[in-house]
């Protein structure tokens, strides 16, 4: 869970000169925000549910939204607070049912979580998971960063949660809280630096579809948790 956001980091970022990404602290907070989104967009786990039921999720979301001055929909986090104290087994079932409705579907999801599907629609062609040009471009980008499939998954790498995880990684490297894989240097990354890679992935991939994904997820969600996640993602994309 996103537990690396410290009061010191928030205070340091708030005291920053106002230049975007000027300090390691501001990069650290951005990494934490992307981590929170990545965890929240993955299939719900016991760890996520424990954070939601305990209020930790709301606290982390409020901290990053405040530190980054994000324009999150009013009251979005208040609604999530209604889960606090819930039976975790029941909440796990509730969130998994909603995640299935939104992102898996039977037979189709209410909101596809894959970049390739959204951009195939833009291109007016049939969406094919894994082998469409946009999914393959994301896979090549991750490989150039020395990354592959997240542990325990085998789904396409253009999943919304995975793209957030990549942005978390790049922000974390720039903040000095993560390291590039062995044998990789910043010069090996797309654009030749960590910041360039971060900005390139936002421009070439995330910004092309995640704002629309967030908007549709907010409208289709039946549970306050996923409306809040969508609101936070949409606000992050506006700020990016």
Give the per-residue pLDDT at 92.
98
pTM given for the model: 0.90
Give the per-residue pLDDT at 154.
76
Whether residue 166 lies inside any domain: the answer is: yes
Whether residue 55 lies inside any domain: the answer is: yes
Give the per-residue pLDDT at 1.
61
Whether residue 79 lies inside any domain: the answer is: yes
Whether residue 104 lies inside any domain: the answer is: yes
Whether residue 235 lies inside any domain: the answer is: yes
Q: Which CATH number characterizes residue 229's domain? A: 1.10.3480.10
Domain interval for residue 44: 7-239
One digit per residue, pLDDT tens: the chain, 240 residues?
644 444 444 444 444 434 344 588 999 999 999 999 999 999 999 999 999 999 999 999 999 999 999 999 999 899 999 999 999 999 999 999 999 999 998 789 999 999 999 999 998 988 888 788 999 999 999 999 999 877 767 789 999 999 999 999 999 999 999 999 999 999 999 999 999 999 999 999 999 999 999 999 999 999 999 999 999 999 999 998
Look up tokens 């980054």; give the residue.
68
Q: How many domains does the chain have?
A: 1
Give the per-residue pLDDT at 118.
96
Whether residue 2 lies inside any domain: the answer is: no
* 11-26: pLDDT as tens digits: 444 444 343 445 889 9
Whether residue 1 lies inside any domain: the answer is: no
Give the per-residue pLDDT at 235.
97
Whether residue 144 lies inside any domain: the answer is: yes
Q: Using alpha carbons, select from 41, 34, 38 the residue that is nearest to residue 64.
A: 34
Q: What is each CA distance from 19 to 10, 16, 22, 73, 234, in whole angstroms?
A: 15, 7, 5, 25, 22
């Amino acid at each position: 869970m996103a537990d690396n956001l410290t009061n010191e980091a928030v205070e340091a970022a708030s005291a920053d000169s106002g230049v975007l990404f000027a300090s390691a602290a501001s990069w650290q907070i951005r990494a934490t925000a992307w981590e929170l989104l990545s965890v929240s967009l993955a299939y719900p786990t016991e760890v996520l549910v424990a954070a939601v039921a305990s209020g930790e999720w709301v606290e982390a979301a409020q901290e990053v939204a405040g530190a980054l001055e994000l324009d999150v929909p009013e009251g979005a986090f208040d609604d999530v607070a209604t889960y606090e104290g819930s039976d975790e087994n029941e909440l796990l079932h509730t969130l998994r049912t909603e995640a299935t409705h939104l992102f898996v579907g039977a037979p189709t999801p209410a909101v596809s979580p894959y970049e390739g599907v959204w951009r195939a629609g833009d291109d007016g062609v049939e969406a094919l998971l894994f082998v469409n040009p946009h999914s393959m471009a994301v896979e090549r980008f991750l490989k150039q960063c020395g990354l592959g499939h997240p542990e325990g998954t085998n789904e396409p790498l253009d999943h919304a949660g995975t793209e957030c995880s990549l942005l978390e990684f790049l922000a974390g490297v720039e903040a000095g809280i993560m390291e590039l894989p062995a044998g990789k240097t910043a010069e090996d990354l797309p654009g030749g630096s960590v910041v360039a890679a971060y900005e390139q992935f936002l421009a070439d991939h995330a910004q092309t579809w995640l704002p629309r994904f967030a908007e549709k997820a907010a409208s289709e969600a039946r549970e306050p948790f996923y409306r809040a996640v969508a609101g936070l993602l949409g606000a992050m994309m506006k700020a990016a």
